[in-house]
């Protein structure tokens, strides 16, 4: 989640919680840099009539993103 009073910034250090903590540890272990980016259409991903995907899944298949993570809670 975003830090309080973040003013809608999407810089990676403006997020707090499990996923940013996990990404920090992984990036230290692998000696890589990363950027947290919110999915452009705000969706998880659904198949379109043309066989493409929207959301995070679509960004993976179009190679816009290399890795996706979600804090979606399962019920």
- Residues 18-43 have a mean pLDDT of 89
Both tokens of residue 6?
């973040």
Q: What is the pLDDT of residue 3?
A: 64
List the chain domain ranges. Answer: 1-36, 38-70
The rounded distance, in Å, linking the Cα atoms of 21 and 11 is 14
The rounded distance, in Å, linking the Cα atoms of 24 and 64 is 21
- Tens of pLDDT, residue by residue over 31-74, are 999 888 888 888 888 999 999 999 999 999 999 888 888 776 65
């Amino acid at each position: 989640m975003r830090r309080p009073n973040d003013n809608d910034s999407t810089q990676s250090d403006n997020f707090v919680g499990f996923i940013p903590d996990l990404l920090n540890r992984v990036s230290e272990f692998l000696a890589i840099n990363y950027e947290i980016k919110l999915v452009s259409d705000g969706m998880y991903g659904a198949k379109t009539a043309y066989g493409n995907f929207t959301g995070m899944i679509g960004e993976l298949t179009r190679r816009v993103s290399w890795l996706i993570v979600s804090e979606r809670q399962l019920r």
